Amino acid sequence: MASLKARLQHSVTPNAFRAYLAEFISTFFFVFAAVGSALSSRKLMPDVAPDPSSLVVVAVATAFALSVAVFIAANISGGHVNPAVTFGMAVGGHITIPMAIFYWIAQMLGSIMACLLLKVTTVGQHVPMHAIPQEMTGFGASMLEGVMTFALVYTVYAAGDPRRGVLGAIGPLAIGLIAGANVLASGPFTGGSMNPAYSFGSAVIGGSFRNQAVYWVGPLVGAAIAGILYDNVVFPAQAPDSLTGISDGVGV
């Protein structure tokens, strides 16, 4: 009981509120750029079938925006920018459950506000929402989102691991690159969300929650597996010298 009380108190400190604000701002920036790139691509090519160039536009915007969003919040909140990342960190014991809940709230509010701003400023343009094609099952789409989110959260763990040394801006860049690559890999199938807040915000403003479970179940499961695997199997805390051994082996 005392531990729960201490965790609750820790989640309402000034530093904690700064972290929530940082998550709100960084998620806002990311979703604004990602959704805005899809809007712009559709505006430039109206009434035509989707083509590879529009997918590349969204992937590049996703990579750049996520790299920046993570970088600007990394020293304040950890730069999660994603409820799945927060969930993966909570499963790994890197953030308390009360703080994770507040992170989720901040992230979803940031996403909703970004989509709302785009809706208002683009004179009522329809906000793009994540969806799956008719021939694809919800289970298959969840699996795809789960695998991509696993890759994303695993990269987040690796990029933020102090045992790897100071990575500086390379860590956020690596996170952005894996996200952009995943969009290229899955854009025609699920939209390449990997981020429940991203999908939730566009669904709220777009007015449709169809297949929304795909963008929560898959990413949360993939994130949890990534956190458990990285911290307990691949790079456990009790083996701080393992990375050195691997590096030495590769260098031979």
- Please state, in angstroms and rounded to a whole number, the distance separating the CA atoms of residues 145 and 210: 16
Quote the pLDDT of residue 243. 40
Quote the pLDDT of residue 244. 39
CA 90 to centroid of chain Cα atoms: 14
Token duo for residue 219: 């990413």
**More confident call, 24 vs 127:** 24
Q: What is the mean pLDDT of residues 122-126?
A: 81
Give residue-wise pLDDT tens across range 103-119: 999 999 999 999 999 99
pLDDT confidence band for 166 (50 / 70 / 90): low
Quote the pLDDT of residue 247. 35
Quote the pLDDT of residue 107. 98
Quote the pLDDT of residue 1. 59
What is this structure's pTM?
Answer: 0.88
Q: What does the angle CA 120 – CA 193 – CA 190 come to, to the nearest 5 degrees? A: 105
- Please state, in angstroms and rounded to a whole number, the distance separating the CA atoms of residues 26 and 62: 13
**Percent share of the chain, pLDDT over 90:** 67
Quote the pLDDT of residue 101. 95
Q: Which of 123-132, 135-144, 163-172 has the lowest mean pLDDT?
A: 163-172
Give residue-wise pLDDT tens across range 179-220: 999 999 998 999 999 999 999 999 999 988 999 999 999 999
- Please state, in angstroms and rounded to a whole number, the distance separating the CA atoms of residues 234 and 212: 32
pLDDT confidence band for 83 (50 / 70 / 90): very high
Give residue-wise pLDDT tens across range 129-152: 999 998 899 999 999 999 999 999
